[in-house]
Structure 1
């Protein structure tokens, strides 16, 4: 059984800050844990917009705090996010994630992340080996 506390992850290599300065991802489960997915406690900073397009991963997200929205690219469809909202990027949907308030999101990725990933110029994570 794996048991981790968020406090034990903060300030370690598993506490990743995006180069864009718009998010922090506290990576609770990673590829090396052998679960077949990774689990993240993610903060999106208020007043930010992040371009994301997970071409190599599927992601499911559950909002537990804050408010924001997703704008689907290229349709422009807006989807509000608030506590209790779940969305799944089942078609590798390109989107803009905006936080009007600090968002706290629980994110699950398949395939799992190794922990070292950051978004590339397209907003995607690369698939990395251990």
Structure 2
């Protein structure tokens, strides 16, 4: 799999410029490229990201989680989400599982990874707990 420059550029815009809150990636099986599927604006949140993931196909996503620590310090952590729902095709699951590390290496600066097969495995409470 090849990661397009658009994937890297969207990630850097999210990481440094805070232009996006999240980026969803998909694999185009014909061209064998990882491409940008959806970009969440700065006003969107985790609920919009979760709603944008298909119920019957795999995706990757990165999410910029902003929070305030106990000592009132603002922080930001980037989560990599590997979405592989049980209803997706076996071929898609295999393709996404074998291509995940290539995308992770191309996106420098990810703090945490979450793998989920249904929405309860990537709930907002899980993201909060991992960040703290």
- Could you state the TM-score of these two structures normalised by the residue count of structure 1? 0.30
Larger helix proportion, structure 1 or 2?
A: 2
Q: Which has the higher contact order (CA 8 A, sep 6+)?
A: 1
Larger strand proportion, structure 1 or 2?
A: 1
